[in-house]
Amino acid sequence: MLMRAWRHPVTRSDRLGAYARYLSWKLHASVVSGPVLVPFVNETLLLAEPLSRETRELSLLVLKDPEAMAFVAHFLRGDEYFVDVGASIGSYAVLAAATADACVTAFEPEPGRAALLRRNVALNGLGGRVDCRELAVAEVPGELEAFWSSTRRLPLPLRVATRECASAAVVRLDDARLAGHPVLARVDVGGDELAVLRGANAMLGDPSLCAVIVGADPERALEDEQPELVRAVLERHGFVPADYDPWRRRLLRLERTRRTMIYVRQRRAEHIVRRLAEAAGIRVDANLCI
């Protein structure tokens, strides 16, 4: 993690400050049993699980996925609609609502994270912009029985229990009664993004949708064929993978596989490029605006 922070583009202007934030989090997490408060973009705050990987990344890096998170903030505009599947504690949802005044529907099935998602929305005064739904999303509706952990969540047959088992209602994205036509969607559910996308054909076919951000499980990336299947689904709907340079506001041809991938609708590429170039900056900390 510390080596990643040394190379991370967000921390390169103030590495000592990033390490100071990390040490502050470590000390705080070692003495508290409940959620810790983490400074976030544009003077927002996030309550986070004290020992999770996500909290480590937010504490040290702020923008844990710099290209994808900057893309969200730079692309969205006021009152546009963003769908976040696998919202966790709400970093992307808060980012979209607080920096771009976007409207968000955020899906998170794990009870502890869903509670933090709701608290983070309320903490930052975003209740009128973020609709929090404690639901799982997949290809087939029904009910999911799963073991929840602080780092990953997988269905029962795939993981040895480390916490109490709980069930969650499952919906297809196309049946979820969304509040409008999303211009941007994100899917990051810990390894089963393909199932979510297979249940979202109507949304993916909607010409209003300009881009999709897809997470990938770094622990399974090398042996898993799912990223190629995800790419095939999205390419059938006219999306192509892209890279984003938030410092130069440039959409680039993808040169290497990332943990989080950005797919843009090819027919809307010029529109997307123009928006990114014209976007207002986001304040990461006192010394950095992107």
Give, to the nearest 10 degrees, the angle between helix 66-75 and helix 269-278: 90
User: Residue 5 is encoded by which pair of tokens?
Assistant: 């922070």
pTM, whole model, 2 decimals?
0.85
pLDDT of 47: 95
pLDDT of 191: 84
Give, to the nearest 10 degrees, the angle between helix 66-75 and helix 91-100: 40
Find out whether 38 and 55 touch, Cβ atoms under 8 Å.
yes
pLDDT of 4: 54
pLDDT of 12: 56
Rounded to whole angstroms, the Cα distance separating 196 from 137 reads: 6
Spatial CA neighbour of 236 closest among 197, 262, 180: 197
Rounded to whole angstroms, the Cα distance separating 60 from 124 reads: 21
Residue 122's CB is within 10 A of a number of other CB atoms, namely 13
3-state secondary structure the chain: CHHHHHHCCCCCCCHHHHHHHHHHHHHHHHHCCCCEEEECHHHCEEEECCCCHHHHHHHHHCCCCHHHHHHHHHHCCCCCEEEEECCCCCHHHHHHHHHHCCEEEEECCCHHHHHHHHHHHHHCCCCCCEEEECCEECCCCEEEEEEECCCCEEEHHHCCCCCCEEEEEEECHHHCCCCCCCCEEEECCCCCHHHHHHCCHHHHHCCCCCEEEEECCCCCCCCCCHHHHHHHHHHHCCEEEEEEECCCCEEEECCCCCCEEEEEEHHHHHHHHHHHHHCCCCEEECCEEC
pLDDT of 63: 87
Chain length of the chain: 290
pLDDT of 34: 81
Rounded to whole angstroms, the Cα distance separating 53 from 83 reads: 23
pLDDT (tens place) for every residue of the chain, 290 residues total: 555 544 556 555 555 565 566 666 566 656 666 898 999 999 999 999 887 888 888 877 788 888 999 999 999 999 999 999 999 999 999 999 999 999 999 999 999 999 999 999 999 999 999 999 999 999 999 987 765 554 444 443 333 333 456 788 999 999 999 999 999 999 999 888 999 999 999 999 999 999 999 996 655 554 567 888 999 999 999 999 999 999 999 998 876 666 678 999 999 999 999 999 999 999 987 778 88
Find out whether 121 and 93 touch, Cβ atoms under 8 Å.
yes
